[in-house]
Chain A
Amino acid sequence: MPGITREEVAHLARLSRLELTDEEIDHFAGQLDVILGAVARVGEVAADDIPPTSHPLPLTNVMRPDEVRESLGTEQALAGAPAAEQQRFRVPRILGEE
């Protein structure tokens, strides 16, 4: 298995929406290299014909009857939001300026 470079860590941090400092990237690159070296052992287990298990239980979708029920009010739903306005979540701009 290949090791992990600091450029890869920086790329993964961007994908994960984590703003890391250069120092953190260096630190994590070293640690992740060790961790990946250890977990890469799963690749040595001969399991070509083994079906993967994603979950300990067989999963089926669960539906409830389509009945109107009481739900959280707007005020309660917004109570934990960092910012709210006009009964909505207020978010920073999503579109670019151009």
Chain B
Amino acid sequence: MNDLIRWTASRTAAAIASGEVSAVEVTRAHLDRIGAVDEKVHAFLHVDAEGALAAAERVDAKRAAGEELGPLAGVPLALKDVFTTRGVPTTCGSKMLQGWIPPYDATVTRRLKDADVVILGKTNMDEFAMGSSTENSAYGPTGNPWDLARIPGGSGGGSAAALAAFEAPLAIGTDTGGSIRQPAAVTGTVGVKPTYGGVSRYGLVAFSSSLDQGGPCARTVLDTALLHEAIAGHDPMDSTSIDAPVPPVVEAARAGDVRGLRVGVVKEFGGEGYQAGVEQRFHEAVELLSSLGAEVVEVSCPSFTSALPAYYLIAPSECSSNLARFDAMKYGLRVGDDGTRSAEEVTALTRAAGFGPEVKRRIILGTYALSSGYYDAYYGQAQKVRTLIARDFAAAYERVDVLVSPTTPTTAFPIGERADDPMAMYLADLCTIPSNLAGNAAMSLPCGLAPEDNLPVGLQIIAPAMADDRLYRVGAAVEAAFVDRWGHPLLDEAPAL
């Protein structure tokens, strides 16, 4: 029974639907696994065993009553702690929200429950999703299951680590500058940032509203597609939610074909700062695409070199505004309310005590970029760069169907290595950020281990907005060819925990 934690989500769902196993058995196996390894990995901030078992019992009861089960019914999932969960703590990895129990469910949470997915608990993350390593969590870092002394990526490191440690076959992340794809790349898992507006942000605690996008994480492309379909679609509670049909992602993942497809390699993603093994595996993936029948061409997107600076002005600006809600009055922490201090003083003391250094740094940077005299030079100019990046994408898509790149310039780095060097840390999102600025869809999937350190390398596929299905069509073909070449999924090579 132990090996059922290694099953894919689709296999687990089929086994539950056929009665081969019960949803309760599946849930117990994953809770046992969490009990056995999470002390080392620290993927979870909160495990809701009681809620998970109750949800699994409902699935078993439905099956017993002859009700038809959905495609992911009874499958366990790890939910990033940035989504509100009614009655279950939500902290965003911050002391500011320690002990906060939301009175409502995020739309993503509600859709997961409606799909009979079993939510195991809430996963660790960089505080308010700010970071590329999950070292900025107020509750301590998560370890990368490939090497526990290394980062699992960020900000969704807990979600990615839960998948790679076989604590859950499905997870949810959010991607503001790469926080789904970068953790997927460094843990050997699959992560997708859907088109901006494709998955509701209602109940997702906002970091940078024009960039944040929730999305699916799993160990296979098909599982990711099944989860994508379960959470996507228009939501009247979110004014930025796209009112259009969800692209046929599951169908595309089942089809998996790149013959005749035009694939663009972005010239600007490469060169200095890229680890040799990452480049090597990426070039092999491009050759593989070519051998599978895709037409590969080089495209140039000159504005991408300005994406990182533009991002590190826009995201902090929006964060400084969004995090103003943490004022010690309506919810969360309150510090210094001794009857002698004013509301303003209590707010300042509370925010000083509740926020960690990365969040404070970004709030101050954002306040600076939005302040009189600097607004045009920084924030305004960054918004113009954003237009140029969108134009570069549009021009590239006239020539090709999808773009590809390494997901990250390096493999997972040791915990602590970049902790005091923000610019070095920010480079981890070099290849992922342009898609957030333009709002298009992107995926990361494993393309091998870097020869120098035997750690996973991610291949990024980028598709135009509302063409998310192309990611899955290409991703499934690449995945099948790689698994065929390796003789097994990449995660089989991860050390035992």
**Contacts known (A31-B361, A50-B387, A51-B384); A42 close to B333, Cβ less than 8 A:** no
Q: Which of A19, A53, A82, A91 contacts B352 (CB 8 A)?
A: A19
Whether B102 is near chain A, meaning CB under 8 Å from some CB there, is yes
**CB-CB contacts of A12-35 with B at 8 A, as 1s and 0s?**
111111111000100110011011
A40: B residues at CB distance < 8 A = 309, 378
Report yes or no: A4 in contact with B368, Cβ–Cβ below 8 A. yes
Q: Give the nearest-CB partner of B195 in chain A.
A: A56
Whether B239 is near chain A, meaning CB under 8 Å from some CB there, is yes
**Complex interface residues of chain B between 340 and 365 (CB less than 8 A to chain A):** 341-349, 351-352, 355, 357, 360-361, 363-365
A39: B residues at CB distance < 8 A = 309-310, 312-313, 378, 382
Q: Which of B197, B332, B384, B387 contacts A82 (CB 8 A)?
A: B332
B439: A residues at CB distance < 8 A = 56-57
Complex CA distance for A59 and B345, rounded to whole angstroms:
36
A43: B residues at CB distance < 8 A = 377-378, 381
Report yes or no: B333 in contact with A82, Cβ–Cβ below 8 A. yes
A20: B residues at CB distance < 8 A = 352, 360
Closest chain B CB from A38 CB (angstroms):
6
B380: A residues at CB distance < 8 A = 52
Whether B104 is near chain A, meaning CB under 8 Å from some CB there, is yes
A1: B residues at CB distance < 8 A = 377
Whether B276 is near chain A, meaning CB under 8 Å from some CB there, is no
* A-B pairs under 8 A by CB, number: 175
Complex CA distance for A82 and B97, rounded to whole angstroms:
11
Q: Is the interface of B mostly helix, strand, loop or mixed?
A: helix
**CB-CB contacts of A42-61 with B at 8 A, as 1s and 0s?**
11010100111111110111
Report yes or no: A41 in contact with B364, Cβ–Cβ below 8 A. no
Q: Which of A12, A45, A54, A91 contacts B343 (CB 8 A)?
A: A91
Closest chain B CB from A74 CB (angstroms):
11
Q: Give the nearest-CB partner of B349 in chain A.
A: A19
Q: Is the interface of A mostly helix, strand, loop or mixed?
A: loop
**Complex interface residues of chain A between 35 and 90 (CB less than 8 A to chain B):** 35-36, 38-43, 45, 47, 50-57, 59-62, 64, 72, 76-77, 79-83, 89
Q: Give the nearest-CB partner of A10 in chain B.
A: B364
Stretch at the interface among B70-78, B113-121, B163-171, B323-331: B323-331
Q: Which of B312, B320, B342 contacts A92 (CB 8 A)?
A: B342
Complex CA distance for A96 and B239, rounded to whole angstroms:
39
Report yes or no: A15 in contact with B367, Cβ–Cβ below 8 A. yes
A91: B residues at CB distance < 8 A = 329, 343
A19: B residues at CB distance < 8 A = 345, 348-349, 351-352
Report yes or no: A18 in contact with B309, Cβ–Cβ below 8 A. no
Q: Give the nearest-CB partner of B344 in chain A.
A: A17
Q: Which of B324, B371, B378, B385 contacts A45 (CB 8 A)?
A: B385
Supply 19 further A-B pairs (C-beta < 8 A) apart from A39-B382, A54-B210.
A12-B371, A15-B367, A16-B367, A20-B352, A39-B310, A39-B312, A40-B309, A42-B378, A45-B385, A47-B384, A50-B384, A50-B387, A51-B384, A56-B390, A72-B104, A79-B101, A80-B101, A81-B331, A91-B343
- Could you list 16 examples of A-B contacts with CB < 8 Å? A18-B363, A28-B361, A34-B422, A35-B312, A42-B306, A45-B303, A53-B384, A54-B383, A56-B197, A56-B390, A57-B196, A59-B240, A80-B330, A82-B333, A91-B343, A92-B345
By Cβ-Cβ distance, the 10 closest A-B pairs, closest first, are: A56-B439, A52-B383, A82-B334, A80-B331, A47-B384, A19-B352, A39-B309, A19-B348, A76-B103, A53-B386
